[in-house]
Amino acid sequence: MGSLCSRAGEPAPDSPAAEFRSRSALLLTDAVFNKYDKDGNGELDVKELSALMADAFPEQPLTQEELKVMMQALDLNQDGKVGANELRAFLRCYDPKSHHIKTKTALIIIDAQNDFITGTLANPYNGQQIVPIINGLRDKVDLVVISYDWHPEEHCSFVESANAGKIAMLDEPKTFEPFTMITLKGDADRPEHQQMLYPRHAVQDTWGGKCHEDLVLKDTDKVIYKGTKPNIDSYSAFFDNCKANDTGLLEMLQSAGVTDVYCAGLVFDICVKSTALHGAELGFNMLVIHDACKPLSDAQVEPTKAVLASAGVDVLSVDEAVGKLSARKDRTLKEFMSGIRRLKPAKRIHREMDSMSSHALLAGPGTNPSKTNTFF
């Protein structure tokens, strides 16, 4: 496309580039989108996206390889095109004056609930120790999200439900022990897949489902609930274990323009890990604060760190997190692209864990979860 700049080096007032310098570009009106959608099909191909990015970042041109990576990052449904909603999610973070990507932070507090701290599925490593640490992080981020495990009474992850014949599974009926792996039958909402059985926990509207009494909660906090359906579990705060249903967290973070997501809570090697992997897969800069978490199995701390690191997730201490939050700055487009490249393995890693049993302990009947190291 031709030059969009005036003689003074500024974009012509009626050009798309000029619109990028206005606040309206952050909302990406249909008029702006249509200026780049040359074939009028409601989507941008690589060539059209290239023209848009040249205007959005005139001093930071992308190579063809970088443009390909950007296309993959923005194309959330992987259909080879970028739609208006996908581009809006990116432009919420774009500062039209500096041509930088604005940094906005969120803290996801995962499953800091009574049953996981002192209740039926109490953490073996004194889970309440992380509560004051989490409280100290709240005011350092832009957005706080509370994630609740929130199960109906006869949930498919409960050993009590299995023993009462309430679960549709392929396994022969017997008396199951906690931390036994079963295979759930497929249904309209889920494919056949493996499921770990746990003691009944985090039942909706019970004491065990409430957050620990010392955890600071505010009216401004956002809240999501996971594992709400009786027939499917959800370790991740983003999706259920078959990725058939989402919790609303993705839209929540995108609407707020969040770029960097810090994870804390319970447990490090299951729900925190799954949340961080999904977040990386979705393109967020994911950071897990390891000393604001507790594991189910201490033996899995280092392997979990390795998996997260391979997916581009930062695992850091609370002191390191506070340092990053205090020194945060906007990113150049090149820095943003570097972050996208780092996250590319996340989707492959999660795909290799499709059964989701790899997010959970594989232990025989009666095994103490704090003493086993059998995961896959």
Q: Which positions are annotated as active-site residues?
A: 111, 226, 271
Q: How far apart are CA 355 and CA 193, in angstroms?
A: 6
Strand partners, 245: none
- What is the spatial distance between Cα 361 and Cα 375, in angstroms, rounded to a whole number? 5
Q: Which amino acid is at 135?
A: N
Measured in whole angstroms, the distance separating CA 5 from the mean position of its chain's CA atoms is: 39
**Which amino acid is present at 290?**
H
* 46 within 8 A of 67, measured Cβ to Cβ: yes
